[in-house]
Structure 1
Amino acid sequence: MTSSPDPQSELLYGLDDRPPVPAALLAALQHMLASFVAIITPTLIIGGTLGLGSEIPYLISMALVVSGVGTFIQARRFGPVGSGLMALQGTSFAFLSSILAAGFIAKAKGGGPDEILSLIFGVCFFGAFVEIVLSQFLHKLKTFINPLVTGIVITTIGLSLIKVGVTDLAGGFNAPDFGSLTNLALGGGVLLLIIIMNQSRNMYLRSGAIFVGLVVGFLVAIGMGKVDFSGLSELDWYALPVPFKYGISFDFAAFLPVALIYLITTIEASGDLTATSMISKQPISGDKYRQRIRAGVLADGVNSAIAAVFNTFPNTTFSQNNGVIQLTGIASRYVAYWIAGILVLLGLFPIIGGVLQQLPKPVLGGATLVMFGTVAAAGIRILATVNMDRRSMLIMAVAFGLGLGVDSVPDLFKNLPEMAQNVMGSAVTMSGLSALILNTVLSGRPVEDVEVPAKDPATSV
């Protein structure tokens, strides 16, 4: 049944509301556009670095299909699997270094694309069970999901992603015209349009801000000659999922760093789902909250196992979509069904996704910059529920100092062993582990023993 928006709420549609089809479809398109490039980019990086050549288009298609399936599982919830939130699943950037390491192990043994992908998907499949098992102990390991640790992780995620948004706005990494006036004007115009529309009292203009900003920016970019559709003729018209198309193999040296990243993504997924709960005006403390997080992390692991079976890389909950929820005011999990259908459709018919793949970086950066900023703001709101005593302030100071320090000076650990670089070289990993360890060992009343009442996001700061 369709519910009417609550005029007293920041949300136009709550978690269990059913928006009208036009509003649901519009919101779904915005989520998809905000995530499309992030879903396919890890595949492009891995495929290019490992020289997978002709296999890349198929891998991209499978990334989109599995993201759609995973999003449906996460939102629909099947028994104990799935958070029931509007939480979009997509290919995780966190695994890039460990997956590339596994690929180079296979390549060093003389393996071609089939052998490389066989090893990668093998270790990723077995590694997913690390997250699946850990999800069942989250209710006993409260230090993983208390407001202090998750608030720090979410804030760090947002702050570290802002650099990506700004870089895209300027033209993207290594762009020959990086920082040109045309790029800045194009990205800045998209950002300005989104801000203006988001401040409108008209619910349809507000909920469509990101979509309109991206579409208008895309059309302007076409007029400026920044879009090239010439490569579309080389794409296949359809792609069918084939389980373990490249086979499956295993190597412990390749498995260990992948398993370690699954441990870290358990923390990240907990933080992202906490932010989604808060923005959706759901509890962020108590048994119902912990059960939701446990089910969501379990779905994260299950979806990563499904990803390996169907020839793509590990999935995780996307944090940028929390920004879309906040900007559109639509938290309905039923929108996720539309998102899932769109992503599967794009995956099965690569030509459609190929058009969207041409979205210029400045256009995307103008939209993602504000979304990544709202992710950081969501983390700050969670931290605002914590008692800021001397112990909490110290944990925050060290966690942010180390995490953002690593992000600012990426060569800090270049002389350490490669595995240590993989773990300590990520801002989110360093910040999250620091907060987790300090919250466990520092004397004082543990944060996880403090019950934090769920607050309205509009009044929690």
Structure 2
Amino acid sequence: MSTSEQATADTAEPSEPQPDATGVVYRLEDRPPLPTTLLAALQHLLAIFVGIVTPTLVLSGPLGLEPEDTNYLISMALIVSGVATFIQVRRIGPVGSGLLSIQGTSFAFLGPMIAAGTAVGGGTAALAMIYGITLAGSFIEMALSRVMHLLRKILTPVVTGTVVCLIGLSLIDTGITDMAGGAATIGTDDFASGKNLAVAGVVLVTVIALNRSRNTYVRMGAIVIGLVVGYAVAALLGMVTAPSLSGLPVVNVPVPFAYGLDFSWSLFLPVAFIFLITAIETTGDLTATSMVSGEPVKGETYVRRIKGGVLGDGVNSALAAVFNSFPNTTFSQNNGVIQLTGVASRWIGMFVAGMLVLVGLFPVVPALVTSMPRPVLGGATIIMFGTVAAAGIKIIASSENKLDRRDVLILAVSFALGLGVELVPDVLSHLPATAQSVFGSPITTGGLTAIVLNLVLPREKASYEEAAEGETMEA
């Protein structure tokens, strides 16, 4: 090889990007090529689409909403999630984490919102009440975000890791149910049928196999390719039903306070408490996002991002109430997409935001996407939910101090109670309905247990000495 040829070879860019030591291919401030950007954004969109529209579908039943109202609310949920995602990833002033943190409708508020809506008789009156109490509650999370830096001794890696792990574990049930055919098929012969499990298995195996490829681009496209393959197999088996498009408007236009506002102190209190819990969940989600993105999970930058992210949650939930949607929060499943693809660029989040707004404006798009059979989605999401739980374990293991007997006790009791209410929900059957809706969540019960034990259990002497030494080094 000549000298000029050698120089050209030395200066040529690699044929494909290479992951760093943390497995990240594109870091937070990188701008991947447009094809990579679109592919990664599409994977995030597919991971969150059902999660964003499902709370609205769940609420529409007990509240007795008309089909046209349900369709409009689904569009608003997508549009608001898009705007909220842009605020989070762009970081406008102090609002937003500045990470690739995707926003979507929160499942945590379903119980209190259904209770509030049915208490006023359902229908559009229920929507007015829900939007009124959630708008008021959003200011609680905004206020809490300003003191997040004072909670470092409370929200330790053991606490946040426990919450993140419980978030992932609590989603496993949803993933498995979808693999078997979805909640709508429970009690029928179609649930857990061989056909459903086979389709889910095809998606699962495809994603796993492609994720282990040495080709970076194949690895980044594993989820999308797996869903496409699964959708094709489901279509061949006659599992895909063409959606009905008649009666749908061409465009759904956001109208502030389209259903009005109402308020009740008694119905507000349960929602207010959930906003406190949401701040904890968001802290855990953002910590996991930082970790899988190769960003710090301690220090000034980390604390600033947590405060901005929690403030963004509150601001975006207020925005949701104004534009006829439900409280927003950071979605944990997107951490699984980041970990699987190795793409942590927040530039991707801006494309996700645009896609969400676009599909929300045109209701025909959500109608087509929701025709994807549940086993296809379940085969992909089950991996994402598992990686969220694994991220929680990594946060726990990343603590500066080795886990001592106190930490192990906190983990043991928190996981036992958190998973206990998930596995045996009847243990709360004698509590008031509001308490059941609050403590029936493994995230709430396990997270609060971890916080309380972390506050009341005395630290071992060695932990005090190491903590003091660490604070001295930071100073």
Per the normalisation by structure 2, the TM-score is: 0.92
The answer to whether residue 329 in structure 2 is matched with residue 319 in structure 1 is: no
**Structure 2 counterparts to residues 352-431 of structure 1, below 5 A:** 352-386=365-399, 387-431=402-446
| SS in structure 2 of the partner of residue 233 of structure 1 | coil
| SS in structure 2 of the partner of residue 316 of structure 1 | strand
| Correspondence for 2:6 | none
| Conservation of the 8 A alpha-carbon contact between 1:5 and 1:11 | no
Whole-Å Cα distance in 1 between the matches of residues 274 and 36 of structure 2?
37
| Correspondence for 1:127 | 137
| Conservation of the 8 A alpha-carbon contact between 2:155 and 2:451 | no
| SS in structure 2 of the partner of residue 282 of structure 1 | coil
The answer to whether residue 73 in structure 2 is matched with residue 59 in structure 1 is: yes
| Conservation of the 8 A alpha-carbon contact between 2:19 and 2:342 | no
Alpha-carbon deviation of 1:416? 0.4
| Correspondence for 1:308 | 321
Whole-Å Cα distance in 2 between the matches of residues 329 and 385 of structure 1?
20
Alpha-carbon deviation of 1:26? 0.4
**Structure 2 counterparts to residues 18-417 of structure 1, below 5 A:** 18-54=31-67, 55-107=69-121, 113-175=123-185, 176=188, 177-386=190-399, 387-417=402-432
| SS in structure 2 of the partner of residue 139 of structure 1 | helix
Listed one character per residue, the Cα deviations across residues 335-381 of structure 1 (whole Å, up to 9, x for unaligned) are 00110011000100010111101111100000001110100100000
Alpha-carbon deviation of 1:451? 8.6
Alpha-carbon deviation of 1:399? 0.2
| Correspondence for 2:459 | 444
One-letter code aligned to 1:70: A
Listed one character per residue, the Cα deviations across residues 158-185 of structure 1 (whole Å, up to 9, x for unaligned) are 1111111111101111413011000000
| SS in structure 1 of the partner of residue 104 of structure 2 | strand
Listed one character per residue, the Cα deviations across residues 239-258 of structure 1 (whole Å, up to 9, x for unaligned) are 00000001111011111100
Alpha-carbon deviation of 1:146? 1.7
| Conservation of the 8 A alpha-carbon contact between 1:143 and 1:436 | no
| SS in structure 2 of the partner of residue 382 of structure 1 | helix
Whole-Å Cα distance in 2 between the matches of residues 207 and 278 of structure 1?
18
The structure-2 alpha-carbon separation of the partners of 1:444 and 1:314, relative to structure 1 and needing over 3 Å to count, comes to same
The structure-2 alpha-carbon separation of the partners of 1:290 and 1:230, relative to structure 1 and needing over 3 Å to count, comes to closer
Gaps of at least 5 residues in structure 1 are 454-461
Alpha-carbon deviation of 1:412? 1.2
Alpha-carbon deviation of 1:450? 7.3
| Conservation of the 8 A alpha-carbon contact between 1:135 and 1:298 | yes
One-letter code aligned to 2:105: T
| SS in structure 1 of the partner of residue 421 of structure 2 | helix
Alpha-carbon deviation of 1:113? 2.2
Q: How many residues align?
A: 448
The structure-2 alpha-carbon separation of the partners of 1:251 and 1:223, relative to structure 1 and needing over 3 Å to count, comes to same
Whole-Å Cα distance in 2 between the matches of residues 182 and 419 of structure 1?
39
Whole-Å Cα distance in 2 between the matches of residues 329 and 340 of structure 1?
20
| Conservation of the 8 A alpha-carbon contact between 1:285 and 1:451 | no
| Conservation of the 8 A alpha-carbon contact between 1:139 and 1:294 | yes
The structure-2 alpha-carbon separation of the partners of 1:254 and 1:132, relative to structure 1 and needing over 3 Å to count, comes to same
| Conservation of the 8 A alpha-carbon contact between 2:248 and 2:363 | yes
Alpha-carbon deviation of 1:298? 0.3
| Conservation of the 8 A alpha-carbon contact between 1:123 and 1:249 | yes
| Conservation of the 8 A alpha-carbon contact between 2:134 and 2:318 | yes
Listed one character per residue, the Cα deviations across residues 367-417 of structure 1 (whole Å, up to 9, x for unaligned) are 001110100100000111232101000000000000011111111101101
One-letter code aligned to 2:328: N
| SS in structure 2 of the partner of residue 308 of structure 1 | helix
Whole-Å Cα distance in 1 between the matches of residues 237 and 231 of structure 2?
10
Whole-Å Cα distance in 2 between the matches of residues 230 and 372 of structure 1?
28
Per the normalisation by structure 1, the TM-score is: 0.94
Alpha-carbon deviation of 1:216? 1.7
| Correspondence for 2:8 | none
Listed one character per residue, the Cα deviations across residues 265-314 of structure 1 (whole Å, up to 9, x for unaligned) are 00000000000000111110112111110000000110000000000000
| Conservation of the 8 A alpha-carbon contact between 1:190 and 1:366 | yes
One-letter code aligned to 2:17: P
Alpha-carbon deviation of 1:35? 0.6
The structure-2 alpha-carbon separation of the partners of 1:73 and 1:17, relative to structure 1 and needing over 3 Å to count, comes to same
The structure-2 alpha-carbon separation of the partners of 1:120 and 1:452, relative to structure 1 and needing over 3 Å to count, comes to farther
Whole-Å Cα distance in 2 between the matches of residues 449 and 323 of structure 1?
31
| Correspondence for 2:17 | 5
Listed one character per residue, the Cα deviations across residues 77-117 of structure 1 (whole Å, up to 9, x for unaligned) are 0000000000110000000000001101111xxxx622111
Whole-Å Cα distance in 1 between the matches of residues 284 and 467 of structure 2?
18
Q: Return 237-246 or 227-236, whichever deviates more.
A: 227-236
| Conservation of the 8 A alpha-carbon contact between 1:138 and 1:144 | no
